[in-house]
């Protein structure tokens, strides 16, 4: 298996979440308000799964390794666009968190900012995924030998294996606890 296989599988799940966001937009537009529980879960999905897990493998492993290669001008340009889109997604999720906070603080206030943030994510992700799947992933695999690709796939697996620990260590740290390794050193 090529290392892009798991990345493309992850895209399928992200696409499904984008569809669910579209349903949340329709709910807002129909006047039914914002499902705050869904929003919290969606934010968690985009922060942990789409950004930290998926974009993490792309940025911390694939893009890092591509920077060590002599890329074509086109592949370099696309990689820069993808990184910019990752930042846009992060900022949009951050804006969504703030919009949801304002909405709930106002006791069911104006949902238009929430709707706008959801629409931005729905607009961004399908185009971003298509760019990666159809114009980037397959061609850039040619820069790597079979051994390099297998090493990258193993690094992806190790990255995934550590994610659940990172997520919950961050949760404990957020509430004033110590990271396990820091705690054990003291």
pLDDT per residue over 90-127, tens digit each? 999 999 999 999 998 887 678 999 999 999 999 999 99
At residue 56, the pLDDT reads 96
H or E segment and range at residue 128: helix 112-131
Q: How many structural domains does the chain have?
A: 1
End-to-end, the C-alpha distance of the chain in Å comes to: 43
Cα-based distances in Å from 157 to 49, 53, 89, 135: 14, 11, 24, 24
At residue 158, the pLDDT reads 93
Question: pTM above the 0.75 mark?
Answer: yes
Provide the CATH number for the domain around residue 124.
1.20.120.520
Distance from C-alpha of 168 to C-alpha of 33, rounded to nearest angstrom: 31
Candidates 13, 33, 19; CA nearest to 115 is 33
At residue 43, the pLDDT reads 96
- C-beta of residue 154 within 8 angstroms of C-beta of residue 148: no
List all residues 6 or more positions away from 156 whose beta carbon is below 8 Å from its beta carbon.
3, 6, 7, 57, 61
Average of pLDDT values for 139-154?
98
- C-beta of residue 136 within 8 angstroms of C-beta of residue 75: yes
Average of pLDDT values for 145-150?
98
Candidates 59, 127, 114; CA nearest to 87 is 59
Distance from C-alpha of 11 to C-alpha of 184, rounded to nearest angstrom: 37
Percentage of the residues of the chain whose pLDDT score is greater than 70: 95
Range of the domain at 181: 4-185
């Amino acid at each position: 298996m090529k290392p892009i296989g798991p990345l493309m599988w992850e895209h399928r799940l992200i696409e499904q979440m984008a569809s669910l966001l579209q349903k949340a937009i329709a709910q807002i537009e129909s006047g039914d308000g914002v499902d705050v529980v869904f929003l919290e879960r969606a934010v968690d999905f985009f922060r942990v799964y789409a950004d930290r897990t998926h974009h993490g493998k792309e940025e911390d492993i694939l893009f890092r390794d591509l920077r060590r290669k002599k890329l074509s001008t086109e592949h370099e340009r696309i990689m820069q666009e993808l990184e910019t889109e990752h930042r846009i997604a992060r900022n949009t999720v951050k804006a969504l968190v703030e919009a949801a906070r304002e909405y709930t603080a106002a006791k069911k206030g104006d949902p238009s900012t929430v709707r706008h943030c959801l629409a931005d994510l729905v607009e961004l992700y399908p185009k971003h995924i298509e760019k990666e799947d159809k114009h980037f992933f397959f061609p850039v695999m040619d820069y790597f030998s079979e051994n390099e690709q297998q090493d990258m796939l193993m690094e992806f697996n190790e990255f995934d294996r550590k994610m659940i620990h990172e997520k919950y260590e961050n949760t404990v740290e957020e509430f004033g606890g110590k990271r396990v390794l820091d705690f054990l050193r003291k």
